[in-house]
């Protein structure tokens, strides 16, 4: 017994160190999956509160710029609406509109967002009570932004495109060839486009958009433009894409609940 | 003595606020993420008991983790920094030893000593932090470059802050 006490007093610092380090590694492992549990939700609420205060100030300072962006988007939508109005007499009108819709958009505000980590996430102020569920797409006025990974009652938590785990099925608008978009961890403005075979005709400046194959993202949403094409080596191009969304100034985003994702996945199960 | 404790606490809060509101939100080129809050661990006086230092490190890391939504990453690396601090101090002891209860400041030990001391603590803290964050050894050298560049920037920030404290 005395030996034990001696041992403890001699190595007390090491013991304290090991205990604290073990607790923080436990935090790491528990937080990794972002499952809900009382304690972690408590910590996350504190962090939401802090970042909400900061983003409040941030949002106020950037109002002028945000207004410009919204006005520009409004203008574009209005133009598009006008062009549809011409077609309206020729389009068969279906009364039960909601049956035919594939996607509906939910407006959400960015509460927290990071760009300087390897695994970046976006917190949005719409949650389960607004009908948000995991695996819904998140887009911004300029293009794709992320995908919802977990939801609480009032908030949702989205994996940003700037996350090493993020994969997106995209296609080249002009030729329709599809590949996979993923971030390489370097620049906030750029990502890599993979699996485009060597024979495809591609040039700098080509538009990259979502393919819609996953049923999470609607097809045709802008992802970026081709910045560099490297055809040397292998069967596939190495392509750098300039992302259309600037993740350093996200404010309002759209969550896109897909109405048919369950149905599509249901038939795709082998 | 009471006054210096009060000032230390105030200074720590200031460091945390700067870290959370400003430095966590800036991003130069994906390689440079300075973390200056580790200065809180660096500046605790020499006689401060080691177990209390580890607890302080744990609390500091937890606050930064909670504020940046990354549980465990900052906590584990700050506790590690707190654990190695006495070894660095022993290694860097002046020939006639430290004065009892002396502050570990630039004013007392000089610019060179403080720069080397801060450099070691920052380097160890940042190495742990960036490798835990990436959580893989693929692209080992890229992460290493991030560690070196970020440590350099953190060191500059810390030295400027400490130089300012010395002048006052």
- What pLDDT, on the 0 to 100 scale, is given for residue A29? 79
Please determine, for residue A66, whether its predicted confidence score (pLDDT) is greater than 60: yes
- What pLDDT, on the 0 to 100 scale, is given for residue B23? 81
Element (H, E) at A134: none
- What pLDDT, on the 0 to 100 scale, is given for residue A98? 47
**Inter-residue contact A139 to A221 (CB < 8 Å):** yes
Q: Read off the pLDDT band of B80 (50, 70, 90).
A: very high
| ipTM score assigned to the predicted complex | 0.81
Chain A: which residues have CB within 8 Å of chain B? 12-13, 16-17, 20-21, 23-31, 40, 43-44, 46-47, 50-51, 54, 112, 114-119, 121, 123, 185-188, 248
- What pLDDT, on the 0 to 100 scale, is given for residue A191? 92
User: What pTM did the predictor assign?
Assistant: 0.64
Phi, psi of B125 (to 5 degrees): -60, -45
Q: How much of chain A exceeds pLDDT 90, in percent?
A: 17
Shortest Cα distance from A113 to chain B (angstroms)? 9
**Inter-residue contact A105 to A256 (CB < 8 Å):** yes
Element (H, E) at A147: strand A143-151
- What pLDDT, on the 0 to 100 scale, is given for residue A36? 46
- What pLDDT, on the 0 to 100 scale, is given for residue B67? 80
Of A27, A54, A248, the CB nearest to B75: A27
**Inter-residue contact A222 to A142 (CB < 8 Å):** yes
- Residues of A within 8 A of B82 (CB-CB) are 17
Phi, psi of A190 (to 5 degrees): -130, 150
Cα A156 to Cα A58, A162, A201: the distances in Å are 20, 17, 39
Mean pLDDT, chain B, integer: 85
Region A87-111: what's the mean pLDDT? 66
Please determine, for residue A42, whether its predicted confidence score (pLDDT) is greater than 80: no
Region A114-134: what's the mean pLDDT? 87
Of B29, B69, B79, the CB nearest to A47: B69
Q: How much of chain B exceeds pLDDT 70, in percent?
A: 93
Q: Read off the pLDDT band of A248 (50, 70, 90).
A: confident
- What pLDDT, on the 0 to 100 scale, is given for residue A94? 54
For chain B, which domains are there? 3-167 (1.10.1760)
CB atoms < 10 A from the CB of B51, how many?
Answer: 15
List the single best residue of A16, A110, A155, A249 to mutate versus B (max B Cβ within 10 A).
A16
Q: Identify which has the larger pLDDT, A146 or A248.
A: A146
**Alpha-carbon span B99 to B91, nearest angstrom:** 15
């Amino acid at each position: 017994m005395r030996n034990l006490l001696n041992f403890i007093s001699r190595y007390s610092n090491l013991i304290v160190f090991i205990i604290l380090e073990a607790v923080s590694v436990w935090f790491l492992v528990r937080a990794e999956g972002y499952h809900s549990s009382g304690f972690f939700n408590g910590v996350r609420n504190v962090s939401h509160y802090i970042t909400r205060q900061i983003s409040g100030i941030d949002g106020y300072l950037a109002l002028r710029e945000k207004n410009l962006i919204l006005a520009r988007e409004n203008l574009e939508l209005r133009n598009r609406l006008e062009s549809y109005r011409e077609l309206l007499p020729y389009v068969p009108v279906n009364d039960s509109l909601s049956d035919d819709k594939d996607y509906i958009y939910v407006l959400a505000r960015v509460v927290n967002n990071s760009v300087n980590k390897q695994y970046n996430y976006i917190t949005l102020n719409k949650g389960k009570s607004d009908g948000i569920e995991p695996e819904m797409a998140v887009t911004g006025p300029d293009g794709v932004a992320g995908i919802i990974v977990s939801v609480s009652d009032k908030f949702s938590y989205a994996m940003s495109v700037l996350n090493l785990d993020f994969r997106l099925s995209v296609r080249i608008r002009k030729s329709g060839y599809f590949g996979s978009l993923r971030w390489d961890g370097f620049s906030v403005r750029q990502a890599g486009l993979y699996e485009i075979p060597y024979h495809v005709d591609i040039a700098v400046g080509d538009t990259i958009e979502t393919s819609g194959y996953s049923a999470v993202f609607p097809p045709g949403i802008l992802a970026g433009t081709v910045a560099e094409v490297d055809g040397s080596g292998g069967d596939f191009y190495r392509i750098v894409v300039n992302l259309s969304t600037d993740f350093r100034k996200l404010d309002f985003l759209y969550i896109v609940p897909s109405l048919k994702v369950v149905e599509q996945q249901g038939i795709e199960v082998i | 003595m009471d006054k210096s404790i009060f000032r230390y606490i105030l200074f720590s809060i200031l460091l945390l606020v700067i870290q959370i509101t400003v430095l966590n939100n800036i991003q130069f080129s994906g390689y440079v993420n300075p973390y200056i809050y580790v200065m809180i661990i660096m500046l605790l006086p020499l006689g401060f008991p080691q177990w209390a230092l580890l607890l302080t490190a744990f609390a500091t890391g937890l606050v930064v983790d909670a504020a940046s939504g990354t549980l465990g990453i900052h906590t584990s690396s700050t506790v590690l920094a707190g654990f190695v601090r006495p070894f660095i101090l022993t290694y860097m002891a002046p020939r006639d030893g430290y004065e009892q209860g002396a502050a570990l400041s630039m004013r007392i030990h000089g610019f060179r000593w403080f720069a080397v001391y801060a450099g070691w603590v920052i380097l160890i803290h940042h190495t742990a932090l960036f490798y835990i964050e990436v959580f893989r050894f693929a692209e080992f050298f890229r992460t290493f470059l991030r560690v070196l560049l970020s440590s350099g920037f953190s060191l500059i920030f810390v030295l400027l802050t400490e130089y300012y404290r010395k002048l006052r």
